[in-house]
Amino acid sequence: MRRFVFLCLILAGWAPARPDAVRFLRWSDVQSLAALAGAAARLPDVKDTLEWDAWIRERDFLIRGRIDHGIEDSISELILFGTSFSAPPKLATAADAVNAAGGLTANARARVEAFVQAIDELDTERFRMVLDFLRRRQITQDELSPFLSGNLRRFALEETSLRINQARADVAVSPETSLLINYAIEDTLRTLKTGHALPAHLQRIAVIGPGLDLAGDPDVYDFCGPQSIQPFAILESVLRLDLAAPAEVQVTAVDVNPFVLAHLRTSLAKARAGQRYLLQLSRPSAAQWNTSAVSYWQHFGETIGASTPATQMPPAGIELRTISVKPQIAARISVEDLDIVTQTLESVSGPGFDLVVATNLLGYYNRVEQTLALTSVARMLGSGGILLANGIAAGVKLQEFDDLGVRHVSYSDSGAGDDLAALKRK
C-alpha cells in the first residue's frame, strides 16, 4: 500500500542559455531612494553593506515563507471546493467550514479525511505538488490530518472575519491566476502602441509572478489541471499586435513559488520535446463579461497554438476552450527563481528587458517592499523599457521611471475590471 510516499517533481530539462544573473539587491542600489513617509514604511536603518546584505537576505527568507502560506491557502481551497477526488459535497463558501464556536463542521472534517485518502491514492500533478509541499514541511502520516484540519480552520476563520489585508507584512502570496488580467494587458499594450510609447520591438520580456492554477478558477476549481497562463498570453499579445518577431522574442518567467517553478520547468521541457502544453480557458455562462472580454476569450490561442477538443466535459454552466500551444512557442520561454522584492536579474551581455509585466502581485507587498520591487525592475529594464503593473500603492515612485498613467480596462458592462499602470524606464 502506498502510504504517503513523497514523489519528487522533475526539475531537469533543456533551458536556453541564460543572458542574466540573479543577485540580491545591493546597498548601492537603494542608497539613492528617498525616505518613505510614515515611520512604519521606511527602508531599514542600516549603516553599511554588511548590515544591508544581512537585512535583505532575512527579508527574502520571510517572503519565501509567505509563499508557503499562500500554498496552504490553496490546499484549503482544494479541500473545501475540489471535485477531482471523492468526497462529500463541496462547500459553498469558506465560512461554511466552521461552526459558531469556531470549530470545523462535520462536512469540513469529512472532506479533510477524503483529501487525506486522495493524497495516498491519486497520482496527479496537483496531488504530487501537495505531497512535495508536505514533504518539505516534514509532516508525518500521523500529523497529516491534524495539520490539514488546523490549516483549514485558520483559513476559514480568516476568510470569515475578513482579516486578510494585503497591506499586512505577513500576508500570504497566492499562486492563483486570472485570464482576464491578460486581456487588460493586451488592451493596454495596444493603447501604448498607438501612442508610440513602446520600444520599436519587444525582444526581451519578463513576466514576474506568472502564477499557477493550483486550487483553480473559483467557478471551476480543480476541474482543469495546474496551468500557468500568463507567459503564453503575453507572447500571444505581442505577436498578435506585431510588437515582436516570433523568431527573436524571449520571455523569462520569474517566480519564487516552488510549485510554479517546477511546473513550468517540467512542462516546458516536455513541450520542447514535442508534448504540447494545453491551456484550458473557462468562462462561466453567468459571468456577464462584456463583448470585448468574450472576444478575447474566443480568439485566445489563435497566434500561439490551436483549439483542440477538451479532454473531459466541463462542469454545468461553464464554457471551456482548450488550446494546444505550439512547441516553438514554448521554446521562447525560460524560467528563473527570483524574489522580485529582494533580488534582480543583472544582464551579463546586451541590453535589458524591453517589457516587464507584474500583475496581481505587488498588492501583496507593503510600500517598502513595493519600492524594492520597483528598484529591482528598474535594474532589469533597458532604457525606454516598459513596466506594466497593478496594485502599486499611492506614493510609491522611483526617479528612474516616467509615469505613463493608469488605464482602467473593463471586463463587464458594470465597469468591473483592472487598473494597469504603465511606467517607462528613463
Q: What would the pLDDT profile of 287-322 be if each residue is shown by its tens digit? A: 889 999 999 999 999 999 999 998 888 888 899 999
Q: What is the model's pLDDT at position 313?
A: 85
Mean pLDDT over residues 73-77, rounded?
93
Question: Binning pLDDT at 50, 70 and 90, where does residue 40 land?
Answer: very low
Grouping H, G, I as helix, E, B as strand and the rest as coil, residue 284 is strand
With a CB cutoff of 8 Å and minimum separation 6, the contacts of 272 are: 13, 14, 327, 330, 331
Residues in the chain: 426
Q: Does residue 165 have a pLDDT over 70?
A: no
Question: Binning pLDDT at 50, 70 and 90, where does residue 171 land?
Answer: low
Mean of pLDDT over the chain: 88
With a CB cutoff of 8 Å and minimum separation 6, the contacts of 148 are: 75, 79, 112, 115, 116
Task: Note the Cα 420 to chain centre separation in Å.
Answer: 16
Please state the φ and ψ torsions of residue 81, each to the nearest 5 degrees: -120, -5
Q: What is the model's pLDDT at position 357?
A: 98
Q: What is the model's pLDDT at position 294?
A: 95
pLDDT tens by residue, 287-296:
889 999 999 9
Mean pLDDT over residues 145-170, rounded?
76
Using alpha carbons, select from 6, 10, 259 the residue that is nearest to residue 119: 6
Q: Does residue 263 have a pLDDT over 50?
A: yes
pLDDT tens by residue, 228-248:
999 999 999 999 999 999 999
Supply the DSSP symbol for 166.
Answer: T
Using alpha carbons, select from 133, 351, 72, 380 the residue that is nearest to residue 254: 380
Domains and CATH numbers, the chain: 180-425 (3.40.50.150)
Amino acid identity, position 386: I
Q: What is the model's pLDDT at position 102?
A: 92
Q: Does residue 276 have a pLDDT over 50?
A: yes
Question: What is the rounded radius of gyration, in angstroms, for the C-alpha atoms of the chain?
Answer: 22
pLDDT tens by residue, 78-90:
999 998 899 899 9
Cα–Cα separations (whole angstroms), residue 177 to 61, 142, 174, 211 = 24, 33, 9, 5
Q: Does residue 220 have a pLDDT over 90?
A: no
Mean pLDDT over residues 122-149, rounded?
94
Question: Binning pLDDT at 50, 70 and 90, where does residue 181 land?
Answer: very high
Grouping H, G, I as helix, E, B as strand and the rest as coil, residue 253 is strand
Please state the φ and ψ torsions of residue 381, each to the nearest 5 degrees: -80, 145
Q: Does residue 93 have a pLDDT over 80?
A: yes
Query: Which strand ranges, in their side-by-side order, compose the sheet holding 333-337?
Result: 333-337, 250-255, 204-208, 353-358, 381-389, 417-425, 401-410
Q: Does residue 404 have a pLDDT over 70?
A: yes
Q: Does residue 35 have a pLDDT over 70?
A: no
Q: What is the model's pLDDT at position 174?
A: 67
Give first-to-last CA distance, the chain, whole Å. 61
Beta-bridge mates of residue 323: 279, 307
Bridge-based pairing state of the strands 333-337 and 318-325: unpaired
